[in-house]
Amino acid sequence: MSTFEFHTTKSIIVERDAAINLAARVQAMDCASALIVTDPGVLGAQLLDRALENFKQQHIAVNIFSEVLADPPESVIYAGIAAAVAANADCIIGFGGGSSMDVAKLIALLARGSQELPEVYGVNQAKGPRLPLILVPTTAGTGSEVTAIAIVTTGENEKKGVVSPLLLPDIALLDARLTLGLPAPATAATGIDAMVHAIESYTSKRLKNPISDALAKDALRLLSANILTACEHPNNIQARENMLLGACLAGMAFANAPVGGVHALAYPVGARFHVPHGLSNSLMLGPVLRFNMSDAEALYAELADVVYPAAGGSNFRRASMLIEYLQNIPAELGIATRLRDVGISNRDIPALAADAMKQSRLLINNPREIQLNDALNLYKEAL
């Protein structure tokens, strides 16, 4: 067995209605003033209401920063840092989807003022210290609650990542009741995103290890068995809990064995056309998996055995079944299946491909090398 390391969030709590008692978690961390980082949709859905009541009962100061946008730009990070400083917050709570949790990570890291945002882009550039951090996902997709990365939109069409163990929270709190009623399109896109995390982790050229493999397989098992139920029956609490746990396990996997070509080609789609991250991944998934078949067929076949335990047959047949299954989910659930469905045309492809080539942090993990001409062809196939 090769030498490897594995890192994840210090404490993971899976408990229905656990979010109601956020104030007690803050108090147990010896904090007196919390800043909750979220987005207008979560705030409007009143998902925070019962938690806020508990802060009043515990006499803990709490402020809300609800300006998070999808694919958050640098301006949102700076506004959140200012809000934390103004509130004298000594604990940061990310409450929402991946964008809210990513913004919360960076606020916790930068609010003390020891570094500026441009200084922490890249791998292990963050020095700390950071404020205590709790992350509470309200969608089952990104796994951001267990990943040491935050993504920021810089300029008009580019994303940059901050990668550091300091971004792992003190507590990840998984409360499935927060995901009840999430519309089917969002459930499908975020669920496919989590599946991509599991698949790309399992086939990663770098840092793949027995722990990440086990987590990726179990994540795919939970996600594939529950995504249709969660979409068709949005208040099925067991399906929601399985999806949330599956996304968390996939996050733990790819945090240690990183994702590759699907994400590299999806990021420009999101940055240039403001397509949600999960949907961007879904749109590029089929073309990239087919491209990788020459180098990853056996690994895809092993993952197919998770989705279709009794399938049998050659590696090629089983791997093809996996790809077909993943391709059918968006169509079955009524979300976009082609790049043209989200406003992308053939004239956009050269710029997308050029942007994808900048994602070297991700491309080096792909089981098959992707060059510029390959990226052009993959976007054309997805169009």
pLDDT in tens, 220-276: 999 999 999 999 999 999 999 999 999 999 999 999 999 999 999 999 999 899 898
- Environment class of 89 (CB within 10 Å of its CB; exposed 0-12, middle 13-18, buried 19+): buried
pLDDT score of 299 = 98
- The rounded distance, in Å, linking the Cα atoms of 225 and 221 is 6
Question: Do 158 and 355 form a contact (C-beta atoms < 8 A)?
Answer: yes
Q: Tens of pLDDT along 310-322?
A: 888 999 999 999 9
Q: Which residues pair with 36 in a beta bridge?
A: 64, 93
Q: Which residues contact 370 (CB under 8 A, 6 or more apart)?
A: 261, 264, 265, 291, 356, 363, 378
pLDDT score of 353 = 98
pLDDT score of 1 = 64
Q: Which residues pair with 174 in a beta bridge?
A: 14
pLDDT score of 42 = 94
Q: Tens of pLDDT along 238-248?
A: 999 999 999 99
- The rounded distance, in Å, linking the Cα atoms of 223 and 250 is 9
Q: What is the mean pLDDT of residues 93-113?
A: 96
List the 158-163 sheet strands across, edge first.
122-123, 158-163, 149-154
The model's pTM is 0.94
Q: Tens of pLDDT along 19-57?
A: 999 999 999 999 999 999 999 999 999 999 989 999 988
Question: Do 296 and 203 form a contact (C-beta atoms < 8 A)?
Answer: yes
Question: Do 187 and 352 form a contact (C-beta atoms < 8 A)?
Answer: no
| Token pair of 223 as six digits | 């996600």
Q: Can you state the angle between helices 372-382 and 349-356, rounded to 10 degrees? A: 130
Tokens 């080609």 appear where? 265
Domains detected in the chain: 11-178 (3.40.50.1970), 182-382 (1.20.1090.10)
- Segment (H or E) for 266: helix 261-273
Q: Tens of pLDDT along 51-81?
A: 999 998 888 999 999 999 988 999 999 999 9
Total length of the chain: 383
